[in-house]
Amino acid sequence: MRTPIKLVLLVIICAALLTVLERKNTRKNMNHGQLHVMLIGASIGQAWQLAEWPTRAKAPGFTAESIAVWQFDKSEAIAEVLLRPGRKFRPTRTYLRSLFQPPPPKPDIVILKECSSYFPGDLQAYENSVRRWVRQLQARNIKVILATVVPVTRAREARDPGKQESLLAYNKWVREYTQEQRIPVLDLESAVRIEGGGRYLREDFTSGDGTHLNASAYAVLDRTLLSTLCDMRPVAGCDARALGALPASVHPENKP
């Protein structure tokens, strides 16, 4: 019986220490004046290496991270984000170790991004879910950006009939919904698609499977993200010199 009691006491002490550390670190982070950007998505979030994006884009006014969710439903991830700087309790060693680390920062901006793997799908259910997530985040004063889905190549569409048509229908809804709700849109589709002929992913932007992106595509998305964020709120890095490096197809003055 003594061992469980000691463990409970240890958890209580650790939780108390965590509370003190969280308050201290939260006050410290607030003084930095940076906007913390979080992308909730799947493979693109990892391959994009968003934590290094502010350095690559020369945007010191931002910090960034990504949370990988390997399904369309982002409900659980969003629920945990809304707990920040708190953490969801888990009876694991990893959780206990996390008590001695800085608390996870509450995001200022959350980008909701879906993958072409989830199409074709139930578009009505998808739309209802996105509306709910937007309301939940906005209720906590977190700004939301919706991303359009990266299209697939013409060859990939031939192997998966209906995928391209379905994701483009979802993208059309995203553009209409964001305009109606005055929510910014991160238009990944427009940044990497061919012009005309079905709006497929450019062959020179794919890693080889007709879906995932390569380094050249991510370089374009770096500038696309900076442009989108700077349209929302100019901060360090949103000057004419930084934005001047944008490809013409995604420059603010040439947005589709």
Per-residue pLDDT of the chain (256 residues; tens, 9 = 90+): 455 665 555 555 555 454 544 444 444 444 367 899 999 998 766 789 999 999 999 999 999 999 999 999 999 999 999 999 876 666 666 655 655 667 889 999 999 999 999 999 999 999 999 999 999 999 999 999 999 999 999 999 999 999 999 999 999 999 999 999 999 999 999 999 998 777 999 999 999 899 999 999 999 999 999 999 999 877 777 875 455 444 444 433 333 3
In this structure, what CATH number is given to the domain that contains residue 84?
A: 3.40.50.1110
Tokens of 234: 């100019």
Which domain does 144 fall in, by range?
2-254
pLDDT (0 to 100) of residue 204:
94
Total count of domains within the chain: 1
Cβ-proximal residues to 46 (8 Å cutoff; 6+ apart), any chain:
66, 68
Name the H helices within the chain: 2-30, 43-48, 53-56, 75-81, 93-98, 123-139, 154-159, 163-181, 188-192, 215-232, 240-243
